[in-house]
A and B are shown apart, each in its own frame.
Chain A
Amino acid sequence: MLRIEGLNVSYDSERILNGIDLEVKAGETLAIIGESGAGKTTLGLSIMGLLNGNARGRIAFDGVDLLSLSKDEMRELRWNRIAMVFQNDEDVLNPVHTVLGQVLEPMVEHRLKNKEEAEQRASQLLSEAGLSSDKFYAYPYQLSGGEQQRALVAMAWANEPELIILDEPLSSLDAVSRLEMMELLKRMGRGRTILVVTHDITAAANLATSIATMYGGRIVERGATPAVLYNPRHPYTRALLRSYPGMATGKDLQGIKGRMTRGVSGCPFHPRCTQAIEICRREVPLLVKYRERLIACHRGGIIPALSVKGMSKSFGSVKAVDNVSLVIDGGGTLALVGQSGSGKTTLAKAITGIIKADAGDVYLEGEKVSRRGKDFYRRVQMIFQKPGEALSHRLSVLEAVKEPLDIQGIETEAKRINRVKKVLEEVELSTSADFLEEYPHHLSGGELQRVTIARALVLDPQVLIADEPTSFLDSSVQAKILKLLLNLQEQRGLSMLFITHDIAVARKISDRMAVMLGGKIIEEGQSSGILASPAHPYTQSLLKAAQGNSQLG
């Protein structure tokens, strides 16, 4: 139905859309999501031929290139075949004409109906859109935002267009009206091809059959709605979902580092991407097929920072870890949940090589780790359960945090000390000379754990394996440590394996969750999915226990 190829749009010298390729099939509802300024509305307007800017490329609608049509041909096409529901800002409806008049206008002006027929049809559409009949002759300012939105919908449907573009159809509505409007759009949208442009993930989830994510004037990911929402593969899509306050998500909101800037060379998202490499700065990634979806990322979407395949470890006849496979997404948190003795710590130690596994391999960014030398520990670090025991009581804060740098032989002494101070600041600890000279027994539990985090982070590792890092802390300190880890993840793209017996903590910090019982992973998936509908009876009991523990909610 609609096929956009290599669409470039610029206003003056500023590029708004860059090489957009997009296909919408007849009867499909495609949602385009992204932050404001991504170019979503511009895309809608360029399909309508309403741009003031300069468009190049091809917008084929039913085989006809819209960009090649004359002004009159385009005018004839508008509203008859492609209509748009504009974002209901101020004055999208003309303030001096009645609602009914504005709905019937396109029918009369395109000579589809005479005045009486058009009036009848307009009334019918307005009632269908849920506007009460006493408001038909009202002026826009006399209507609430929701009623105006209904009028806009009725107006868009007036000439029975095949394609309808909805620009932020829910943005001006309160929660209850939103729900009604979503139902309405679903009902009225049946049988039509719809393009929804929105930053509202809920709207996209409810209305669309597939989703395309847009960033910096480019499509960066495209796939079926459930796939994109439950398993986003582009770092930007995931970041966007993480910053959206949905009722189903448990993880604390995370922003995206930096701001959107225009005119970036290479991948538009690279300045904010935590897994950007050299090529991302240089070359624009193409939108290519990746499994069941399209992704524009040089790294093929979110990278597997660390994966474990078929790992086993037995102590005598006890199988502590039994053929476990895991993937930790780059910049994501995998929570490993299970009761004491389920083999979580053994698994962590086997991954880091503290104990030797009987079988199984570890892969770092897809490459098999054959021996764990210095460069392995430069990339993978661990935080232990008991910070007091993890730090040598004979080393001062400075010495403890600097030690990994000394071992790795990185830079000069002065630079090492600077790095220590920087990382201490990052974990919100003092960098005063007094504090640097402190010994572990003078520090509180929270400070100790921060020191171990600083020690783990000083090498700037990609993967952090945290074994119950907060179980010995009281909840206020725990909250701060969790926030700190989330922040570090947002800023540095830290990938984490977070081991905990507390599913409530796991919910707050993880994107994905793996439940371990008797050395085996019995359930694994998106945290929100597992929490909403746990499949395994053991997970159900864990969840029940956690809910019973916290009557507060």
Chain B
Amino acid sequence: MINKRNMATYGIALVFILALNFLLPRMMPGDPLMAIYGEDALIQMTPELKAHLVERFALDEPIWSQLGAYFWGLLRGDLGHSYYYNAPVSEVILGRLPWTCLLVGSSLVLSTVLGVVLGIESGWRRGRKLDKSLLTGLMALGGFPDFFLGIVLLLVFGVTLGLLPLAGALTPYAELSGLALSLDILKHLLLPLASLTLCHIGGSYLLTRNTMITVMQEPYILTARAKGLSDSQIRYHHAGRNSMLPVFTRTGMWLGRLVTGALFVEMVFAYPGLGYLTYEALLARDYPVLQGVLLMVAVFVLVANLLVDLTYPKLDPRASYAH
């Protein structure tokens, strides 16, 4: 079970990340305001605005007061202001987050579930035809980068066949609602989701299959067979259940990369997620947004790890026993 010491570790990591996020722009040479806001912002900056910002970040005060001001801002959910989007950073990020969650979340679930199921079936039939074809096929798919798969899918289904939309997450200005809206979202989601899923399925498949092969040698599988259980009961309840464990850890780690995981695919499909936002912010040197995304990613990684730590013992009771 997760204990106080583990929690303390997470606390320390969080403080460290926040401190880094605070220190980095201030350690850069030159004007900290420029480091915080980028060159673009300085061009349109009036002396009044500058004075306002200096006061807000307590830049004329000692470093401890600056740190205090920084944390106070964070607590209020204030991640700064983006001059490129002319909106608060938190608003910009929150606007994009649902799309990323939808795309990356569903691809994560899909690739994991499919990978585990295929891995179990493949490992069960080790060396037979299905196993061999799955192994070859999924390894080949996993070898392509996700944006490449995305481009191919886009060309085939979007451009040549014209079945699915080319870009975006919604049909603009369509003012759809209800079922039509859901269908529209799904249509836009399909291609990026497919490219991400196809690309990531190989990892969880291979991991499951290999664990499955090891697990099949375990004495408890022989016990299960001796009990005259059906093949599917042995395959899923006994072998599969144990083969899932490392995949679960791996997926948990991927969860942390949810935010940026889809950067290239989002670019290819101009999907308005956090990845695409990062790309735009990079091009525009929109430092506040970049910093906000960085913070988000870091916090996500921590939370994902915490979730894995908390749920793993439910899957593998031995984990709460070991230290």
The residues of A with any CB-CB pair to B shorter than 8 Å are: 48, 50, 74-80, 83-84, 86, 89-97, 105-106, 109-110, 139, 141-142, 155
Which residue of A75, A83, A93, A95 is within 8 Å of B230 (Cβ)?
A75
Contact indicator per residue, chain B 199-225, by CB within 8 Å of chain A (1) or not (0): 000000000000000000011101111
| Residues in B neighbouring A50, C-beta threshold 8 A | 222, 225-226
Query: Assuming the A-B contacts A91-B220, A92-B219, A94-B220, are A141 and B226 also in contact, with contact meaning beta carbons closer than 8 angstroms in the complex?
Result: no
Binds A, one of B53-61, B125-133, B273-281, B314-322: B314-322
- Partner pick for A48 among B218, B226, B317, B321, CB 8 A cutoff: B226
A96: contacting residue among B219, B224, B230, B317, CB under 8 A: B317
Tell yes or no: B227 within 8 A of A by CB: yes
Say yes or no: A110-B220 contact (C-beta < 8 A), given A96-B242, A141-B318.
no
A81 → chain B closest CB, angstroms: 9
List of B residues within 8 angstroms of A109 by Cβ:
227-230, 233
Cβ–Cβ < 8 Å partners of A86 in chain B: 219, 222-223, 226
Q: Are B223 and A92 in contact (CB under 8 A)?
A: yes
Q: Is B238 an interface residue (CB 8 A)?
A: yes
Known: A97-B238, A105-B233. 10 other contacts (CB 8 A): A50-B225, A50-B226, A76-B228, A93-B220, A93-B223, A94-B241, A95-B318, A96-B241, A139-B317, A155-B227
- Taking a contact as CB atoms under 8 Å apart, the answer to whether A91 and B219 are in contact is yes
A-B residue pair count with CB separations less than 8 angstroms: 76
The reply to whether A95 and B228 form a contact with Cβ atoms under 8 Å apart is no
Taking a contact as CB atoms under 8 Å apart, the answer to whether A75 and B219 are in contact is no
Expressed in whole angstroms, the minimum distance between the Cβ of A85 and any Cβ of chain B is 10
Q: How far is the CA of A86 from the CA of B228 in the complex (A)?
A: 14
Which bracket fits the contact residues of B? 20 to 34
Nearest B-chain residue to A152, judged by Cβ: B223
> From B317, which residue of chain A is reached at the shortest CB distance?
A139
**Can you identify 19 A-B contacts, CB atoms within 8 angstroms?**
A50-B225, A75-B229, A78-B225, A79-B228, A86-B226, A90-B219, A91-B219, A94-B224, A94-B241, A95-B318, A96-B241, A96-B315, A97-B238, A105-B237, A109-B227, A110-B228, A139-B317, A139-B318, A142-B317
Q: Is the CB of A105 within 8 A of B227?
A: yes
Question: Which chain B residues numbered 302 to 323 have a C-beta less than 8 Å away from chain A?
Answer: 315-318, 321
Which of A83, A84, A92 contacts B220, CB < 8 Å?
A92
Given A96-B315, A139-B317: A79 touches B227 (CB 8 Å cut-off): yes
- Do A106 and B229 touch (CB < 8 A)? yes
The complex places the Cα of A457 from the Cα of B227 at a distance, in Å, of 58
| Contact, CB under 8 Å: B226 / A83 | yes
Q: Decide if the interface of chain B is mainly helix, strand, loop or mixed.
A: helix
A143 to chain B, nearest CB (A): 12
| Residues from chain B with Cβ under 8 Å of A139 in the complex | 317-318
Tell which of A76, A78, A91, A110 touches B226, judged by Cβ atoms closer than 8 Å: A78
Contact flag A89-B219 (CB < 8 Å), given A95-B317, A139-B317: yes
Contacts of B230 in A (CB 8 A): 75, 109
Q: Which of A83, A96, A155 contacts B316 (CB 8 A)?
A: A96
**Given the complex, which residues of A lie within 8 Å of B219, measured CB to CB?**
86, 89-92
* Chain B residues numbered 227-262 whose CB sits less than 8 Å from any CB in chain A: 227-230, 233, 237-238, 241-242
Q: Give A147 to B229 CA distance when docked, in angstroms.
A: 24
Q: B318–A80 contact, CB under 8 A?
A: no
Q: Which of chain B's residues has its CB closest to A78's CB?
A: B228
Contact at B228–A77, with CB atoms within 8 Å? yes
Which residues in A have their C-beta under 8 angstroms from that of B241? 94, 96-97
Q: Which residues of A contact B316 (CB under 8 A)?
A: 95-96
The 9 residue pairs across chains A and B that have the minimum distance between CB atoms: A78-B228, A139-B317, A94-B220, A106-B227, A79-B228, A92-B219, A79-B227, A75-B228, A109-B229
In the bound complex, CA of A137 to CA of B222 (Å): 22
A462 to B125, CA, bound (A): 60
Please tell me if the beta carbons of A141 and B229 are within 8 angstroms of each other in the complex: no
A310 to chain B, nearest CB (A): 58
Identify the interface centre among B223, B227, B242: most chain A CB within 10 Å of its CB.
B227
| Contact residues in B for A142 (Cβ distance below 8 Å) | 317, 321
Q: Which residue from B223, B225, B228, B315 sits with its C-beta under 8 Å from A94?
A: B223
B322, closest chain A residue (CB)? A141
A100 to B218, CA, bound (A): 20
A161 to chain B, nearest CB (A): 10
- B220 contacts across to A, CB distance below 8 A: 91-95
Question: A106 contacts which of B222, B228, B321 (Cβ < 8 Å)?
Answer: B228
Report the bound CA distance from A90 to B317 in whole Å.
16
Smallest CB-CB separation from A74: which chain B residue? B228
B-chain residues with CB within 8 Å of residue A83 when the two chains form the complex: 226-227
B238 touches A78 (CB 8 A): no
A2 to B230, CA, bound (A): 25
Residue from the list A74, A78, A91 in contact with B227, Cβ < 8 A: A78
Distance between A97 CB and nearest chain B CB, rounded to angstroms: 8
A91/B218 contact (C-beta < 8 A), A96-B242, A96-B317 known: yes
Q: A91-B219, A92-B219, A92-B223 are in contact. Are A141 and B321 (CB under 8 A)?
A: yes
Q: Shortest beta-carbon distance, A44 to chain B, in Å?
A: 10
Residue ID in chain A nearest B321 by CB atoms: A141
Please name all residues of chain A whose beta carbon is closer than 8 Å to the beta carbon of B233 when the two chains form the complex: 105, 109
Bound Cα distance A463, B230 (Å) = 62
By CB atoms of chain B within 10 A, which of A50, A74, A77, A109 has the most?
Answer: A109
A80 — nearest CB in chain B belongs to which residue? B228
Closest A residue to B218 using CB positions: A91
Q: Which residues of B contact A93 (CB under 8 A)?
A: 220, 223
Residues from chain A with Cβ under 8 Å of B228 in the complex: 74-80, 106, 109-110
Nearest chain B CB to A136 CB, angstrom units: 14
Minimum CB–CB distance from A475 to chain B (whole Å) comes to: 50
Q: Whole-angstrom distance between the alpha carbons of A110 and B230 in the complex?
A: 9
Give the distance in Å from the alpha carbon of A188 to the alpha carbon of B33 in the complex: 83
Most buried by A among B223, B315, B318: B223
Residues of chain A within 8 A of B229, CB atoms compared: 75, 105-106, 109
- The docked-state distance in angstroms from the alpha carbon of A435 to that of B313 is 73
* CB proximity of A122 to chain B, nearest CB, Å: 13
